[in-house]
Structure 1
Amino acid sequence: MTYARTSWRENAACRSTDAEELFADSATQNRAKAVCVGCPVRAECLAEALDNRVEFGLWGGMTERERRALLRRRPDVESWRQILETAHSKHDQPRRPRAC
Protein backbone atom coordinates (compact mmCIF):
# COMPACT_ATOMS: atom_id res chain seq x y z
CA MET A 1 0.00 0.00 0.00
CA THR A 2 1.29 3.46 -0.87
CA TYR A 3 0.54 6.37 1.42
CA ALA A 4 0.43 10.03 0.44
CA ARG A 5 3.80 11.70 0.88
CA THR A 6 2.56 13.93 3.67
CA SER A 7 0.75 11.28 5.68
CA TRP A 8 3.08 8.25 5.71
CA ARG A 9 4.48 9.39 9.07
CA GLU A 10 1.05 8.98 10.64
CA ASN A 11 1.19 5.27 9.81
CA ALA A 12 4.77 4.71 10.95
CA ALA A 13 5.44 2.05 13.58
CA CYS A 14 7.83 4.43 15.31
CA ARG A 15 5.36 7.31 15.67
CA SER A 16 4.99 6.61 19.39
CA THR A 17 8.66 5.69 19.93
CA ASP A 18 11.03 8.05 21.69
CA ALA A 19 12.89 9.86 18.90
CA GLU A 20 16.17 9.42 20.77
CA GLU A 21 15.92 5.66 20.11
CA LEU A 22 15.96 6.28 16.35
CA PHE A 23 19.13 8.33 16.62
CA ALA A 24 20.92 5.70 18.68
CA ASP A 25 24.58 4.79 18.67
CA SER A 26 25.75 1.58 17.07
CA ALA A 27 25.26 -0.48 20.23
CA THR A 28 21.51 0.15 20.34
CA GLN A 29 20.73 0.44 16.63
CA ASN A 30 19.64 -3.19 16.34
CA ARG A 31 16.96 -2.65 18.97
CA ALA A 32 15.79 0.42 17.11
CA LYS A 33 15.77 -1.50 13.81
CA ALA A 34 13.34 -4.01 15.33
CA VAL A 35 10.69 -1.27 15.34
CA CYS A 36 11.03 -1.00 11.55
CA VAL A 37 10.67 -4.70 10.74
CA GLY A 38 6.88 -4.79 10.46
CA CYS A 39 6.31 -1.11 9.70
CA PRO A 40 3.70 -0.57 6.96
CA VAL A 41 5.49 2.54 5.65
CA ARG A 42 9.06 1.33 5.82
CA ALA A 43 9.68 1.89 2.09
CA GLU A 44 8.28 5.42 2.19
CA CYS A 45 10.44 6.24 5.20
CA LEU A 46 13.57 4.88 3.54
CA ALA A 47 12.82 6.70 0.29
CA GLU A 48 12.42 9.96 2.23
CA ALA A 49 15.86 9.55 3.78
CA LEU A 50 17.58 8.49 0.56
CA ASP A 51 15.96 11.10 -1.69
CA ASN A 52 16.74 13.89 0.78
CA ARG A 53 20.17 12.56 1.74
CA VAL A 54 19.27 12.52 5.44
CA GLU A 55 22.55 12.02 7.27
CA PHE A 56 21.45 11.01 10.75
CA GLY A 57 19.14 8.51 12.38
CA LEU A 58 17.50 5.25 11.53
CA TRP A 59 15.14 5.54 8.56
CA GLY A 60 13.28 2.68 6.91
CA GLY A 61 15.30 0.16 8.86
CA MET A 62 18.66 1.46 7.61
CA THR A 63 21.37 3.21 9.58
CA GLU A 64 23.34 6.22 8.38
CA ARG A 65 26.22 3.97 7.39
CA GLU A 66 23.99 1.57 5.45
CA ARG A 67 22.32 4.44 3.57
CA ARG A 68 25.66 6.03 2.69
CA ALA A 69 26.91 2.70 1.33
CA LEU A 70 23.77 2.28 -0.77
CA LEU A 71 24.04 5.82 -2.14
CA ARG A 72 27.70 5.19 -3.06
CA ARG A 73 26.75 1.97 -4.88
CA ARG A 74 23.87 3.63 -6.76
CA PRO A 75 24.79 7.32 -7.28
CA ASP A 76 22.74 7.47 -10.49
CA VAL A 77 19.34 7.01 -8.82
CA GLU A 78 17.19 10.13 -9.09
CA SER A 79 14.15 8.89 -7.17
CA TRP A 80 14.40 6.19 -4.55
CA ARG A 81 10.69 6.67 -3.91
CA GLN A 82 9.92 5.58 -7.47
CA ILE A 83 12.25 2.57 -7.29
CA LEU A 84 10.86 1.39 -3.95
CA GLU A 85 7.22 1.89 -5.00
CA THR A 86 7.84 -0.07 -8.22
CA ALA A 87 9.53 -2.89 -6.30
CA HIS A 88 6.71 -2.89 -3.75
CA SER A 89 4.00 -3.13 -6.42
CA LYS A 90 5.83 -5.95 -8.22
CA HIS A 91 6.20 -7.82 -4.93
CA ASP A 92 2.47 -7.49 -4.19
CA GLN A 93 1.34 -8.80 -7.58
CA PRO A 94 -0.05 -12.34 -7.51
CA ARG A 95 2.39 -14.85 -8.88
CA ARG A 96 1.41 -16.93 -11.87
CA PRO A 97 1.68 -20.69 -11.47
CA ARG A 98 4.51 -22.23 -13.42
CA ALA A 99 3.71 -24.49 -16.34
CA CYS A 100 4.72 -28.10 -15.93
Structure 2
Amino acid sequence: MWVEDWAPRAACRQDTPDALFVRGAEQNKAKQVCASCPVRTECLAEALDNQIEWGVWGGMTERERRALLRRRPQASWRTVLESARNEHVGAKVTV
Protein backbone atom coordinates (compact mmCIF):
# COMPACT_ATOMS: atom_id res chain seq x y z
CA MET A 1 0.00 0.00 0.00
CA TRP A 2 1.31 3.43 -0.95
CA VAL A 3 1.72 5.92 1.88
CA GLU A 4 0.70 9.43 0.81
CA ASP A 5 1.89 11.21 3.96
CA TRP A 6 5.19 9.37 4.16
CA ALA A 7 7.53 11.94 5.78
CA PRO A 8 6.32 11.43 9.40
CA ARG A 9 7.06 7.70 9.02
CA ALA A 10 10.56 8.12 7.57
CA ALA A 11 13.51 6.57 9.39
CA CYS A 12 15.36 9.88 9.07
CA ARG A 13 12.64 12.00 10.68
CA GLN A 14 14.68 12.35 13.89
CA ASP A 15 17.93 13.22 12.09
CA THR A 16 19.00 16.71 11.22
CA PRO A 17 18.39 17.47 7.53
CA ASP A 18 22.10 18.13 7.09
CA ALA A 19 22.77 14.43 7.73
CA LEU A 20 21.16 13.59 4.37
CA PHE A 21 22.81 16.36 2.36
CA VAL A 22 26.42 15.24 2.48
CA ARG A 23 29.12 14.39 -0.02
CA GLY A 24 31.53 11.53 -0.61
CA ALA A 25 31.81 8.67 1.87
CA GLU A 26 29.33 10.37 4.20
CA GLN A 27 26.61 9.49 1.68
CA ASN A 28 27.05 5.82 2.56
CA LYS A 29 26.16 6.59 6.17
CA ALA A 30 23.07 8.47 5.03
CA LYS A 31 22.07 5.56 2.80
CA GLN A 32 22.29 3.19 5.76
CA VAL A 33 19.50 5.13 7.47
CA CYS A 34 17.35 4.48 4.41
CA ALA A 35 18.03 0.75 4.34
CA SER A 36 15.36 -0.13 6.90
CA CYS A 37 13.02 2.78 6.24
CA PRO A 38 9.37 1.74 5.85
CA VAL A 39 8.67 4.54 3.35
CA ARG A 40 11.86 4.35 1.31
CA THR A 41 9.97 3.79 -1.95
CA GLU A 42 7.69 6.79 -1.43
CA CYS A 43 10.68 8.99 -0.61
CA LEU A 44 12.56 7.88 -3.71
CA ALA A 45 9.53 8.44 -5.93
CA GLU A 46 9.16 11.96 -4.52
CA ALA A 47 12.78 12.80 -5.34
CA LEU A 48 12.62 11.31 -8.84
CA ASP A 49 9.25 12.76 -9.82
CA ASN A 50 10.29 16.21 -8.61
CA GLN A 51 13.85 15.89 -9.89
CA ILE A 52 15.34 16.83 -6.54
CA GLU A 53 19.01 17.34 -7.24
CA TRP A 54 20.61 17.22 -3.79
CA GLY A 55 20.85 14.79 -0.93
CA VAL A 56 20.14 11.16 -0.28
CA TRP A 57 16.49 10.28 -0.89
CA GLY A 58 15.06 6.78 -0.72
CA GLY A 59 18.52 5.33 -0.34
CA MET A 60 19.90 6.86 -3.51
CA THR A 61 22.39 9.66 -4.04
CA GLU A 62 21.83 12.45 -6.53
CA ARG A 63 24.21 10.72 -8.95
CA GLU A 64 22.27 7.45 -8.75
CA ARG A 65 18.97 9.25 -9.25
CA ARG A 66 20.30 11.17 -12.27
CA ALA A 67 21.24 7.84 -13.88
CA LEU A 68 17.66 6.58 -13.45
CA LEU A 69 16.21 9.81 -14.81
CA ARG A 70 18.40 9.57 -17.90
CA ARG A 71 17.15 6.04 -18.58
CA ARG A 72 13.47 6.93 -18.20
CA PRO A 73 13.09 10.71 -18.41
CA GLN A 74 9.31 10.72 -18.89
CA ALA A 75 8.45 8.08 -16.31
CA SER A 76 6.05 8.56 -13.45
CA TRP A 77 8.36 7.14 -10.82
CA ARG A 78 5.57 6.71 -8.34
CA THR A 79 3.82 4.41 -10.82
CA VAL A 80 7.02 2.54 -11.67
CA LEU A 81 8.06 2.02 -8.05
CA GLU A 82 4.58 1.25 -6.77
CA SER A 83 4.10 -1.39 -9.47
CA ALA A 84 7.50 -2.93 -8.76
CA ARG A 85 6.78 -3.08 -5.04
CA ASN A 86 3.35 -4.64 -5.63
CA GLU A 87 4.90 -7.28 -7.89
CA HIS A 88 7.58 -8.00 -5.28
CA VAL A 89 5.02 -8.34 -2.49
CA GLY A 90 2.84 -10.55 -4.70
CA ALA A 91 5.80 -12.79 -5.48
CA LYS A 92 6.53 -13.18 -1.75
CA VAL A 93 2.94 -14.20 -1.04
CA THR A 94 2.92 -16.97 -3.67
CA VAL A 95 6.24 -18.46 -2.54
Kindly tell me the number of residue pairs found equivalent between the two proteins. 93
Deviation of the 1:18 alpha carbon: 1.3
* Aligned with 2:80 (options 70, 78, 83): 83
Shift of 1:27: 2.1
After the TM superposition, which parts of structure 1 deviate over 4 Å for at least 4 consecutive aligned residues?
Answer: none
1:14-45 deviation line (CA, Å, top 9, x unaligned): 00011111001112000110000010000000
Q: Which has the larger radius of gyration?
A: 1
Q: What residue in structure 1 maps to residue 43 of structure 2?
A: 45
Where structure 2 has 5 or more consecutive residues not aligned to the other structure, the ranges are: none
2:94 equivalent to 1:95: yes
Q: Which residue of 2 aligns with 1:22?
A: 20
Instruction: Give the C-alpha shift of residue 76 in structure 1.
Output: 3.2
Q: Secondary structure at the match of 2:94?
A: coil
> What RMSD, in angstroms, separates the aligned Cα atoms of the two structures?
1.1
Q: Which has the higher helix share?
A: 2
